[in-house]
Amino acid sequence: MGGTVSGLLGTGLVLQDNAADDLIIAANGSFSFTTPLASGASYAITVKSQPKILTRVCTVSNGSGTVAAAAVVNVVVTCAAPAARFAYVANSGGNTVSAYTIDATSGALSPMVVPTVATGAFPDSVAVDPTGRFAYVANADSGTVSAYTVDGTSGALSPMAVPTVATGNRPYSVTVDPTGRFAYAVNAGSNTVSAFTIDNTSGVLSPMAVPTVATETNPQSFAVDPTGRFAYVANYLSSTLSAYTIDATSGALSPMAVPTVATGTGPIHVTVDPTGRFAYVANASDNTVSAYTIDATSGALSPMPVPTVATGARPYQVAVDPTGRFAYVADANGNAVSAYTIDGTTGALSPMAVPMVATGGAPYSLAVDPTGRFAYAPNIDALTVSAFTIDATSGVLTPMAGPAAVTGFGPLGIALSR
């Protein structure tokens, strides 16, 4: 009994045959159960436990039947990110989060029955845990993170029993790691990262034993690699990235042997591609994206042979599609999204045949849905979200039909949730 596994990240996947025979899957590729079945016997291969990297859900195809004379080798286990059903936008000027449902076919956004929920002062970033059960908002002026539970059916947000937790000074972003166990808030005013554990049942945040780690000057964003082993912080006034390893048990951050690397001028946002091999940084002050390769063992960053690529005016955020083939940059002062193809071997960025698409006024963030079909950019001046479909072959963005979704005042960050 056997087949193939694809899309797996991390450990923890266990398959089971006939509710008894367990098989631990450590990597993508072929698998085979050790216990044979006689010809004519029935089989039923299922997922007993999902991977610890919760951004992926593994499903089985061709998993049941009756054994014929030949071995069964056509069982297919596919691990992939579930489609996004909900979107949340942090409205920095209105002290709210706008909540939307996502049409599964068209990608269009529709306000939820309760379209907004209150936050702290100047919310600028929103993150959802990979299971889609909890949401967190960084409130820059309050020095807090607001915490919510997410209704699994409607997507509605409700404040947790412990609705806020203190951070450092001016938290500009909040990020949840791919295991769903840890959260990190970047504090621009105190040059630190606040680190929290997430209660698996309630979602409540608790400061780690070492509650903060130092960054360089004016950190703006935090990115974790897809396996949850490495983290990177963009330091705006230092024009650097800080690099850390993540303790697999505690979530604690430790500076890497090479703790910083240079970026362009004024790095705002850092992202890691879905393969974990490349990192990209939007440099707001010199209109470039810096590009790096990531060492698979140490997480160390190395500038690519072509270390930067030009963007539109004042790039604020980079998003990479789930296939790792396309990258998009929100150009805040250009009222546009710049679009690039990614070289699958080197990670180098090249402008697409349609290199730029217009948005509303001042897009400061960008999100690509986990299926790679849709992209969304909140526009802080237009008080809308620009929505696009993504061509599966070329990556080119096409504006969706119909009016743009309306936000609250000052939309900054956006997060999508399954």
Structure-token pair, residue 138: 């960084």
Q: Which amino acid is at 209?
A: A
pLDDT of residue 386: 98
Q: How far apart are CA 210 and CA 245, in angstroms?
A: 14
Q: Answer whether 292's CB lies under 8 Å from 278's CB.
A: yes
pLDDT of residue 52: 94
Task: Please check the confidence at residue 48 and state whether its pLDDT lies above 90.
Answer: yes
Task: Please check the confidence at residue 71 and state whether its pLDDT lies above 90.
Answer: no
* Confidence tier at 100 by pLDDT (50, 70, 90): very high
Read off the pLDDT of residues 258-314 as tens digits, 9 standing for 90 and up: 999 999 999 999 999 999 999 999 999 999 999 999 999 999 999 999 999 999 999
- Interval 389-400 mean pLDDT: 97
pTM: 0.94
- For Cα atoms 66, 72, 78, give the angle at the middle one, nearest 5 degrees: 105
- Interval 12-17 mean pLDDT: 96
**Lowest mean pLDDT: which of 32-41, 370-379, 386-395?**
32-41
pLDDT of residue 329: 98
pLDDT of residue 326: 98
In the CATH hierarchy, which fold is given to the domain comprising 86-417? Methylamine Dehydrogenase; Chain H (2.130.10)
Task: Please check the confidence at residue 70 and state whether its pLDDT lies above 90.
Answer: no
Q: How far apart are CA 241 and CA 227, in angstroms?
A: 19
What does DSSP say about strands 240-246 and 134-139: parallel, antiparallel, or unpaired? Answer: unpaired
Q: How far is CA 253 from the centre of its chain?
A: 19
pLDDT of residue 138: 98
pLDDT of residue 36: 87
* C-beta atoms surrounding 30 within 10 Å: 10
> Where in the chain are the domains?
2-80, 86-417
Q: Answer whether 217's CB lies under 8 Å from 233's CB.
A: no
Read off the pLDDT of residues 350-365 as tens digits, 9 standing for 90 and up: 999 999 999 999 999 9
* C-beta atoms surrounding 229 within 10 Å: 20
Task: Please check the confidence at residue 388 and state whether its pLDDT lies above 80.
Answer: yes
- 3-class state of residue 180 by DSSP: coil
* C-beta atoms surrounding 44 within 10 Å: 12
For residue 226, list its beta bridge partners.
Answer: none
Task: Please check the confidence at residue 72 and state whether its pLDDT lies above 90.
Answer: no
CA distances 39 to 42, 251, 367, Å, are: 9, 48, 50
> Which residues, including other chains, have CB under 8 Å from residue 153's CB and lie 6 or more apart?
none
Task: Please check the confidence at residue 1 and state whether its pLDDT lies above 90.
Answer: no
What does DSSP say about strands 157-166 and 171-176: parallel, antiparallel, or unpaired? Answer: unpaired
pLDDT of residue 68: 85
- Alpha-carbon Rg for the chain, nearest whole angstrom, is 22
Structure-token pair, residue 3: 């087949």
Structure-token pair, residue 299: 């997480």
Read off the pLDDT of residues 209-250 as tens digits, 9 standing for 90 and up: 999 999 999 999 999 999 999 999 999 999 999 999 999 999
Task: Please check the confidence at residue 69 and state whether its pLDDT lies above 80.
Answer: no
Q: How far apart are CA 407 and CA 267, in angstroms?
A: 26
- In 277-308, which positions are buried (b, 16+ CB within 10 angstroms) versus exposed (e)? bbbbbbbbebbbbbbbbbeeeebbbeebeeeb
* Of 343, 280, 346, 350, residue with least CA distance to 316: 280
Q: What is the DSSP letter of 18?
A: T
Please give the helix or strand (H or E) that residue 353 lies within, else none: strand 349-358
What DSSP string describes 195-244?
A: EEEE-TTT--EEEEEEEEEE-SSSEEEEEE-TTSSEEEEEETTTTEEEEE
pLDDT of residue 18: 93
Q: How far apart are CA 71 and CA 49, in angstroms?
A: 25
State the burial class of residue 151 (Cβ atoms within 10 Å of its Cβ: 0-12, 13-18, 19+). middle
Q: Supply the mean pLDDT for the chain.
A: 96
